[in-house]
């Protein structure tokens, strides 16, 4: 990695590590507007773009399985997660994943807005997953056509994308993976649990199951909840990813990912959003919104 890129990458990695640091729960701030529902932080624009850029860079088909729409976390579950950041039993809350349409633009004149810490400029906001308009859109994946169009708008071309062989080297072989590779694979799964991919899709909510193979015993949680793979992924980004790139001979592509895309800028913005969300939700990692009166 060039010295110029390395300097900015280290700034980014240092910022991302803050999100993985223990935080002390604070009182949730009061808003001058009407409080809106909570969302999974993975659906906030900057965090979504960081995840998408890494996903498309490594394997476009994984990016195609990211959510095309966002949906608010059911309030009954959000209340439980505030008291139990590491997750609540899925079977106790599965009945509430029924497409509660509380934030669609035009419904009663209301529209949910991110708090200041999670906002991005309007031009980028328009590229982020919109609020679902009908329940059939919940957990629908982007699809490869939409994912490719978004990748181009964010600066990724085919010269940056890993080859199948490079991607296989990145994630390793099942049963032989390092802990860092396990984290990468588990985080990818949590971010792509959309319709047609997971038995219990939760991607539009920014949620995942801690044991998807045993849903009756699994807890549902934010993908950046304490101990969740995508929170541990911050540490992988802070060094092991560069080492894996060198081992797998794609360091030049990793350089170009940082140089040609807004990954660094979205990474810093996403860290502010994620860190504030962790603090305001006592570690549950849910993003607050407000609604116009």
Can you tell me the mean pLDDT for 85-106? 83
pTM beyond 0.75: the answer is yes
Q: Give residue-wise pLDDT tens across range 180-200.
A: 999 999 999 999 999 999 999
Q: What is the pLDDT of residue 287?
A: 95
Residue with the larger pLDDT of the pair 291 and 144:
144
User: Which pLDDT value is given to residue 35?
Assistant: 85
Q: Return the pLDDT at 27.
A: 45
| Residue range 34-58, pLDDT digits in tens | 888 999 999 999 999 999 999 999 9
Please give the average per-residue pLDDT across 101-112, as a whole number: 60
Report CA dihedral (71, 19, 223, 149) to the nearest 10 degrees: 60
Distance (Å, rounded) from C-alpha 110 to C-alpha 132? 14
Could you tell me what percent of the chain has a pLDDT over 90? 76
Residues 6+ apart with CB under 8 A from 223: 40, 41, 42, 187, 190, 191, 206, 207, 208, 229, 230, 285
8 A C-beta contact, residue 238 and residue 17: yes
Q: Cα–Cα distance between 180 and 51 in angstroms, integer?
A: 17
pLDDT value at position 238? 81
pLDDT of 92 higher than 90: yes
What angle do helix axes 45-58 and 251-260 make, rounded to 10 degrees? Answer: 150
- pLDDT class of 290 with cuts at 50, 70, 90: confident
């Amino acid at each position: 990695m060039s010295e110029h890129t390395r300097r900015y990458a280290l700034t980014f990695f240092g910022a991302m590590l803050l999100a993985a640091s223990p935080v002390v729960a604070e009182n949730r701030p009061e808003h001058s507007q009407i409080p809106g529902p909570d969302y999974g932080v993975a659906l906030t624009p900057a965090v979504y773009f960081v995840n998408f850029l890494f996903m498309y860079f490594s394997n476009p088909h994984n990016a195609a399985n990211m959510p095309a729409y966002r949906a608010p976390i059911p309030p009954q579950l959000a209340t439980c997660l505030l008291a139990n950041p590491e997750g609540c039993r899925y079977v106790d809350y599965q009945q509430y994943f029924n497409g509660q349409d509380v934030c669609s633009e035009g419904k009663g004149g209301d529209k949910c807005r991110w708090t200041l810490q999670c906002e991005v400029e309007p031009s980028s906001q328009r590229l982020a997953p919109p609020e679902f308009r009908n329940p059939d859109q919940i957990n629908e994946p982007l699809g490869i056509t939409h994912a490719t169009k978004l990748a181009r708008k964010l600066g990724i071309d085919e010269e940056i994308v890993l080859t199948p062989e490079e991607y296989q080297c990145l994630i390793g072989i099942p049963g032989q993976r390092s802990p860092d590779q396990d984290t990468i694979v588990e985080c990818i799964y949590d971010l792509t649990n959309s319709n047609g991919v997971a038995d219990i899709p939760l991607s539009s909510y920014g949620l995942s199951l801690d044991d998807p193979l045993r849903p009756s015993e699994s807890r549902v949680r934010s993908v950046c909840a304490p101990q969740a793979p995508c929170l541990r992924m911050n540490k992988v980004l802070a060094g092991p990813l560069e080492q894996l790139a060198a081992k797998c001979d794609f360091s030049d592509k990793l350089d170009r990912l940082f140089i040609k895309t807004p990954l660094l800028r979205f990474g810093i913005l996403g860290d502010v959003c994620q860190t504030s969300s962790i603090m305001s939700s006592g570690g549950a990692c849910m993003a607050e919104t407000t609604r116009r009166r």
